[in-house]
Amino acid sequence: MPTEDPRDEWMTLGEIAAHLKLSRSKIYEMARQGTIPCSNVAGRWRFLRSEVDDWMIRQRPSSASEPNEEAPE
C-alpha cells in the first residue's frame, strides 16, 4: 500500500492558519474573498495543503527591493 503524501492533505481553517502562522480570522477573510485556494463544503472551509503551499510560493516578491512588512523600521 503506497504511503500518502502529506502535501495532499485536506486541512481545516485552524490547521491552515497554524501552518501559515496567520490568525484564523485572517485566513477566514482570505477564504471569503477568494484570495487563498480553498473549498467550502457544507459551510466548512477546507484547504488542500499542496495547493496552499504552491500558492504561497507564488506570493514571493519578484524583487528584493519590495518592502517587507516584518522588517524593523
Phi then psi for residue 46, to 5 deg, are -130, 145
Classify domain 6-57 by CATH number. Answer: 1.10.10
Predicted local confidence at residue 65, as pLDDT: 53
- 0.85 surpassed by pTM: no
Q: Where are the domains of the chain?
A: 6-57
Q: Are strands 10-12 and 44-48 parallel, antiparallel or unpaired?
A: antiparallel
Q: What is the pLDDT of residues 2-55, one digit of tens each?
A: 556 666 799 999 999 999 999 999 999 999 999 999 999 999 999 999 999 999
Grid cell, residue 56, equals 504561497
Residue 68's region, left for phi above 0, alpha for psi from -120 to 50, else beta, is: beta
